[in-house]
Chain A
Amino acid sequence: MPEPVEPLRFVAADDAAVCDPVTGVCAVPDAESEVRDDDGARGEGAASAH
């Protein structure tokens, strides 16, 4: 398994849809995304599913 050689740079979208292992909820984004550079993990949405 390859090892990371440097911290990841996150290319995040405001409406990235993600399933959260803590809440068990999968967010449903409610707007089209705009891709941009980001320096931290993101991926939240407005509503929830699983």
Chain B
Amino acid sequence: MRSKIIRAILGLGAAFASFFYHPCSSSAETRVAIGVTETMETYNPYGDSVSLLYGIWCQVMGCLGTYDFDKGEYEGMLAERWEVKDPNNWVFHLRRNIRFHDGSRLTAADVVHSFNRVRNDPQSKQKQNIAPIASAAALDDYTVRFTTKEPTAPLLEYLFDRFIITSKAIYDKYGPDVADRKYPIGAGPYRFKELIPGQRFVIAKNPAYPGMKEKKQAPDEIVFRVMREPEQRVTALLNGEIQIAQFIPPHMRDRVERSPNTTVKAVDSVEIMFLAMSPKFKPWDNKQLRQAVSYAIDRDAIIANLLRGEATRLDGPVGPGQYGYNPNLQPKYEYNPEKARQLVKQAGYPNGVDVDYYTPVGRYTLDKQISEAIVPMLHAVGIRAKLHTPEWATLWANVQAGKVPFYYMGRGSVVDPSVALSQYFETGGSPRIGYSNPKLDELLALERRTFDPAKRKKVLSEAMSIITEDAPAHFLWRHQLLYGIARNIEYRPTPSGRIFGEDIKVLR
């Protein structure tokens, strides 16, 4: 009885307070708005496969672990530790003090349920993340075993940051649609607050998550706002409408830096940009011609003038910070038009050669402009490239079907290059380039079976050396991702593009 009265009084007080204090203007709460480029289109945590959303769902629902780019190693989140029992069996031990936002405990059953949902949900766009896994089993309440189809050394690359854990109980009770739409209850460091597809995603701090209470500077609320146009993000940042703006184009950097309240932070992305030359087609079946392209392009000039220094040149498939990077990888292609001209002649084209060159438009930073700059460089060495700019859907369909001989392209989320290399260069990996080399196939298969990191890096390095030498692709650079950041915020962007609330500090 007494407690009822007290509750009633408290309730009245709260109502009274909220009457005078608009909750948004409450000074105790900190809110950070972030202008992002990816659209968020569905309530289903498994219905998208873009890095930003993986990051948001990972914070709201929870995931097993994450890659720490500073330390260069994997770190547990819901999983406390993990071990490789034998090459085909991985065991993950969950933390015992994790609770869903409704108070129930997170257990191994939820992990197994999530695995099944990724695999069976008709809307799932994340099946590729569990592709190497044959089955998942709960060994006890806090232990999960994943059995892989074949030994997969880079398994954490698949699972961490991407495999989202959701509640089995809620799913069983309401079914997928209602559960996603009405009960987005997770176990992560942030809670779901609001999602308007195509417009915004709002999350709020969850103090009950271990360690979150101590992170006082982490924002209480984060609003991810979809702002596709760079102009729109920069204007909003300068007006103080948002505190972090994703992907500032190079030419707008000055404007953000000149403003007293904002600054720009850059980070190398994990997207590798390259020119693909498919040996399935003439004249690209000729290795010398492919190498000629590699010598013909002045990457440094393009980076310095067009990209204003905001890209890091690649010598080989990966660069610093990516797994398996070897600074001494051979061969290296320096800009040498004379040598390129000779290679074109040696390749059997004394009078030069005509080729068709395809580029996406508006998909990657300054893609069309870069390709327009590449064309005259190729002309200068006798490779008369004709530039085509098909619409993305058309280009992508043709690339995937292996119908495009020569194109500019990027491959994102290359933290560990294993998957990307296999996809583009292993025999049967995909028709995109149509390159085939038994020696390379052997090395790539070996790399996946090698669990000792040092040995694995060596094998990877050997494989990448073969690719660079054979040049079915010429690796150009990684763009820098520029983030506009308000000065009252401390944040260092990550190469993968995910944004975690706990990495943001609000300065008061």
A and B bound? no
Q: Which residues of A line the B interface, CB within 8 A?
A: none
